[in-house]
Chains A and B, each alone.
Chain A
C-alpha cells in the first residue's frame, strides 16, 4: 500500500516535527492548564508520528494502532479550543464527549466488526473536525478573535483532508492513488502545522 519515503519527504516531516515541538514548548503558553495539555497532547502525537514516519517510512501507517492514535490529534485540538474559548459548562460537557469518544474508538477497534468501528470513528472524528473548522470562524466573525485565528480552521480542514485520504485508502476505496496520497501527506502535515503556528500565534 505504501511507497518508499524520499529525502524530501523526510525534510518536510522534520520541519513539521520542529513546528510541532515549537507549539508544545511555546505555542500553548499562557492558556488554562487543561487547554495547554489538550493542545500539547495533540501536537505531541503529531510530533511522535512525524518522527516515526521519518525513522520507519510510511509503513508505520499500516498499523491498526494508527487509527486510534491519530484520533488524539483532532480530539486534543478541539478540546483545547473549547476550553480556551467557551464557558466552563461547555468544556466540561465536551471533555466528557472526548473521553467517551476516544474510549469508544479504542474499544470498537478491538471488539466490534469493522463497519461499526468505522461509524464510531467517523462520528467522533467528524464532530471534532467540525469544531476545529467552525469554531474559529464563529469567533472571528463575532470579533472575539483576530482574523489570523482563521488559520486554525485551515489547519482543521487540512487534518480532515489528510484523514479522509488515509481512511478511504485503508478502506480499499482510495480517492487518489496510494502513490499520490503518500506524496501529498508530508505537505499536508507541514501546512497543517504551519497553520496552527499562525493560528495560535493570533
Chain B
C-alpha cells in the first residue's frame, strides 16, 4: 500500500533535519535583513543575491552529504536561484 505524501515529507525533513534547519534559519535571517533594510533597494538586492548564493551552496552541500551529488542537480539549483535573482531585480532595482 502506498504511503501518504505527508509520510514522505516528514521522512525527508527528519532524515535531513540539520540541513533543513540551516535553510530555514537562513531564510528567516534573509527576511529579517530585508525588514531591517527595507526601502534601501541596493542593500535589499545584495541581501537577495546573498540568499540565492547561499541556496546554491546549500544545494551542493546537501547533495554531497547525501551522496546524491550530480552536475544536473547543481545546474537545477543555479537556474532556480538565477531566475529568482533576475525576476526580483526588475522589482527591487528597476
Partners in one complex: no
